[in-house]
């Protein structure tokens, strides 16, 4: 094949990165990348295990003279988020990614780059291929369906691993070592509603222009939640007139802070309702942070609809949106600036005779996730609703002592002359799942520098890869 990246170190890493970029690997479609990994291992006579989920484990013995050292595990996921720009023709099930070098950045034309988590796959392949001169026995675990619920990591047989030091390569900043993450759970709260023939004037109320962001990493930034603002606007309106909900739709993902929400309403008088809504919107605009400066509320008169919710159903749905606790609940007492417990009302949907609210709750403590589910259960009983909790994943607790972390920080200082930042994140990683299976595993999560993950703007800083590689090589010498 023709290689796009020329004259960059380490050559082996970039060669493998380009090869795997030619293999389609959306979540749930990891069979071809698993085939590639199996062939790779077979050609080199390496131990290889593949399970029904297409997780692949490849082991490489220690280099000469290093046999007495403890083995080390590298881990990352083979699947990628598939997003493309409007108008771009790309079939993620068939087409290779079209890589291109944009100055010091590597990108894919019009699509996600899959550096999340292709960097891990390329790194492990380069190590397994023999690009590192001296290392202990290496185990490389390639997991699947990470982006859709850490499914591969949940289903792997961990008795196959002997290493008790693990490097997860699924972070996004070169100078940062992540050493802990939150667990989480999703909840659907379904509220049954009754409808009747529509009367009065119909209006469309839309909230938009908000900044949004990741519901773990950005939940403490003070950004407004469009679904919650809709709850507030409607709760302001109801005492002023007999407004009825026809439908409400907001947000697209449980783990994203919603930027937009639209409600269809029937009201006795359009002027009264829109005046009340616009007055409250002006008050909200005054409260919001600079990041949400794009905030806007639009009220438009619409054609009549067939049915609207009863007054009682409208009150229950509006009460749910307005009153459900949302955002940051607790900050970590030991680690400055780290969120300990949060919830995001990510999605609201009207589906037939129900309104469904979808939440992502996060915490570093399992007991708080339990508490969150019970709180939502209790809330749903008030609403005559039902809850379904799913996609639970465990957190990874910060270890006060870590030989691996110390060694990585030392290696990074030797290579760069700078101190790495040790942090804990309020988002989920496969490390939590693996830690729950092997509690004595010493884990770090690292990466070269990536930007705009999960979007067609995704890029990899080429120069950061060389520093990252040199740090790994040094780590393998001194650990």
Chain contacts with Zn ion (rule: CB under 5 A): 116-117, 170
CA distance 317 to 320: 5
Q: Which is nearer to Zn ion, 116 or 280 (CB)?
A: 116
User: Phi first, then psi: what are they for 417, rounded to 5°?
Assistant: 75, 10
CA distance 91 to 303: 39
Q: Which is nearer to Zn ion, 18 or 116 (CB)?
A: 116
Q: Say how far residue 129 (Cα) sits from the centre of its chain.
A: 31
Q: Which is nearer to Zn ion, 117 or 280 (CB)?
A: 117
Q: 449 by DSSP, 3-state: which?
A: coil
Q: In the complex, what is the shortest distance from the CB of residue 79 to Zn ion, in angstroms, rounded to a whole number?
A: 9
Whether 291 is a known active-site residue: answer no
Q: Which is nearer to Zn ion, 26 or 222 (CB)?
A: 26
Active-site option among 30, 116, 117, 146: 146
Going from the C-alpha of 171 to that of each of 31, 254, 421, 457, the distances in angstroms are: 24, 21, 13, 17
Active-site option among 79, 249, 340, 461: 79
- Looking at residue 203, the DSSP 8-state letter turns out to be E
Closest of 322, 107, 303, 292 to residue 218, by C-alpha = 292
CA distance 315 to 194: 11
Whether 260 is a known active-site residue: answer no
Q: Which is nearer to Zn ion, 119 or 126 (CB)?
A: 119
CA distance 304 to 266: 8
Q: In the complex, what is the shortest distance from the CB of residue 170 to Zn ion, in angstroms, rounded to a whole number?
A: 4
Q: Where are the beta strands (DSSP E) in 259-412?
A: 261-267, 296-302, 307-309, 327-331, 339-351, 354-363, 386-393
Q: In the complex, what is the shortest distance from the CB of residue 412 to Zn ion, in angstroms, rounded to a whole number?
A: 21
Q: Which is nearer to Zn ion, 255 or 387 (CB)?
A: 255
Q: In the complex, what is the shortest distance from the CB of residue 27 to Zn ion, in angstroms, rounded to a whole number?
A: 10
For the record, the structure tokens of 335 come out as: 């680690």
Q: Which is nearer to Zn ion, 145 or 211 (CB)?
A: 145
Q: In the complex, what is the shortest distance from the CB of residue 351 to Zn ion, in angstroms, rounded to a whole number?
A: 30
Q: In the complex, what is the shortest distance from the CB of residue 342 to Zn ion, in angstroms, rounded to a whole number?
A: 20
If DSSP states are collapsed to H, E and C, what string results for 314-331? HHHHHHHHHHCCCEEEEE
Instruction: Give helix then strand counts, H and E, for the chain.
Output: 11, 25
CA distance 22 to 33: 10
Q: In the complex, what is the shortest distance from the CB of residue 76 to Zn ion, in angstroms, rounded to a whole number?
A: 8
For the record, the structure tokens of 63 come out as: 């280099």
Active-site residue list: 79, 146
């Amino acid at each position: 094949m023709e290689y796009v990246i020329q004259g960059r170190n380490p050559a082996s890493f970039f060669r493998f990165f380009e090869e795997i970029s030619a293999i389609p690997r959306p979540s749930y479609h990891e069979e071809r990348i698993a085939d590639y990994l199996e062939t790779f291992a077979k050609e080199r006579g390496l131990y290889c295990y593949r399970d029904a989920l297409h997780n692949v484990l490849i082991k490489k013995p220690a280099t000469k003279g290093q046999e007495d050292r403890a083995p080390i595990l590298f881990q990352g996921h083979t699947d990628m988020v598939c997003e493309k720009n409007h108008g771009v023709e790309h079939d993620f099930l068939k087409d290779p990614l079209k890589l291109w070098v944009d100055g010091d950045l590597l990108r894919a034309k019009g699509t996600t780059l899959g550096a999340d988590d292709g960097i891990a796959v390329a790194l492990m392949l380069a190590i397994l291929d023999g690009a590192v001169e001296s290392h202990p026995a290496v185990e490389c675990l390639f997991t699947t369906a990470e982006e859709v619920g850490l499914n591969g990591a949940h289903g792997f047989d961990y008795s196959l691993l002997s290493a008790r030091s693990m490097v997860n390569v699924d972070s996004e900043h070169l100078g940062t070592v992540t050493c802990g993450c939150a667990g989480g759970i999703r909840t659907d709260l379904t509220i049954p509603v009754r409808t009747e023939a529509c009367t009065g004037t119909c209006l469309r109320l839309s909230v938009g222009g908000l900044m949004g962001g990741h519901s773990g990493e950005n939940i403490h930034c003070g950004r407004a939640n469009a679904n919650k603002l809709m709850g507030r606007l409607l709760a302001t309106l109801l005492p002023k007139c007999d407004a009825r909900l026809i439908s409400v739709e907001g947000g697209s993902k449980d783990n994203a802070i919603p930027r937009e929400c639209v409600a269809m309403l029937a009201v006795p008088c359009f002027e009264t309702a829109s005046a009340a809504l616009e007055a409250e919107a002006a008050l909200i605009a005054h409260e919001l942070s600079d990041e949400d400066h794009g905030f806007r509320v639009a009220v438009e008169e619409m054609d009549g609809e067939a049915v609207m919710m009863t007054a009682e159903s409208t009150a229950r749905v509006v009460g749910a949106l307005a009153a459900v606790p949302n955002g940051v609940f607790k900050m970590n007492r030991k680690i400055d600036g780290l969120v300990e417990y949060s919830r995001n009302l990510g999605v609201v949907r009207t589906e037939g005779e129900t309104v469904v609210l979808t939440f992502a709750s996060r915490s570093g403590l399992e007991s708080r996730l339990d508490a969150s589910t019970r709180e939502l259960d209790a809330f749903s009983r008030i609403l005559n609703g039902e809850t379904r909790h799913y996609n639970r994943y465990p957190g990874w607790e910060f270890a006060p002592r870590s030989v691996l972390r110390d060694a990585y920080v030392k290696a990074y200082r030797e290579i760069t002359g700078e101190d790495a930042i040790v942090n804990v994140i309020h988002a989920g990683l496969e490390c939590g799942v693996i830690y729950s299976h092997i509690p004595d595993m010493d884990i770090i999560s690292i990466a070269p520098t990536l930007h705009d993950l999960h979007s067609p703007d995704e890029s990899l800083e080429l120069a950061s890869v060389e520093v990252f590689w040199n740090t790994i090589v040094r780590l393998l010498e001194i650990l």
